[in-house]
Amino acid sequence: MKIYGQDEFTVLFSRMKILEQVEAIAKRIKTNFSNQSDGRPILLICVLNGAMYFFVELTKMLSDKDILIDTIGLSSYRNGVDSAQIITIVKKLDIDPRGYHVLVVEDIIDTGLTIQFLRNLLVEAGAASVQFCCLLDKRPRRMVQVDIQYVGFVMENDEFVVGYGLDYNGRYRNLPYIAALHPRMYKK
């Protein structure tokens, strides 16, 4: 049964390709794990909502490692006066990150402002280290220099992507693959 019209988007990364990349990232995290952890569990943070699908798949592949998981919810909007991006926390962490090596898991990094905000937040909260992992590193609209330790796919084109957690107006998150939405779907 089709949930969405197949003519609304073009598949960029199949379910199989995504799984391959998640597996490769999980393998690299495991390799680096012992150097980073100081014997303490690493704290993995899922940035709601988009990273949910990636996060669940990734953490299940780390089942032989001692990790803690938590979630954070953010809301961002443009300030009407100076157009600055304002990011606020709408769901706080449950675990105090102080002293933990933290790995933040994102579905997509676009301008980089969200992970810049999270880095500052976690460093100020006393995290021992902060690293970032994203499934999609979308570079054309990057506004700030960011260091991302684990990347699934690099996107050089400024396409609007949906699926596997990513949405357009709340839709398409449950597609099992990642697709580029056709511009006619969002350009009026």
- Could you list the active site residues? 110
User: In this chain, which residue has its C-beta nearest to ligand PRP?
Assistant: 50
Tell me if 42 sits within 8 A of 68, measured CB to CB: yes
> How far is 54 from 33, CA to CA, in rounded Å?
19
Segment 100-119, which members bind ligand PRP (CB under 6 A)? 106-114
137 binds ligand PRP (CB under 6 A): no
Amino acid at 112: G
Three-state DSSP state, 101: strand
> How far is 119 from 125, CA to CA, in rounded Å?
10
> How far is 25 from 151, CA to CA, in rounded Å?
7
Q: Indicate the residue among 12 and 113 with the shorter CB distance to ligand PRP.
A: 113
The mark string for 10-49 relative to ligand PRP (x by CB under 6 A, - otherwise) is -------------------------------------xxx
Task: Return the residue matching tokens 């499934």.
Answer: 135
Least Å distance between CB 87 and ligand PRP? 8
Sheet bearing 178-181, strands edge to edge: 9-13, 178-181, 161-162
127 binds ligand PRP (CB under 6 A): no
Q: Indicate the residue among 62 and 162 with the shorter CB distance to ligand PRP.
A: 162
149 binds ligand PRP (CB under 6 A): no
Give the interface size with ligand PRP as a residue count (CB under 6 A): 16
Q: Which helix (H) or strand (E) holds 118?
A: helix 113-124
Least Å distance between CB 177 and ligand PRP? 17
Least Å distance between CB 107 and ligand PRP? 5
**What is each CA distance from 141 to 2, 7, 113, 128, 151, in whole angstroms?**
32, 26, 11, 30, 17
71 binds ligand PRP (CB under 6 A): no
Segment 167-186, which members bind ligand PRP (CB under 6 A)? 167
Q: Enumerate binding residues for ligand PRP (CB under 6 A).
A: 47-51, 76, 106-114, 167
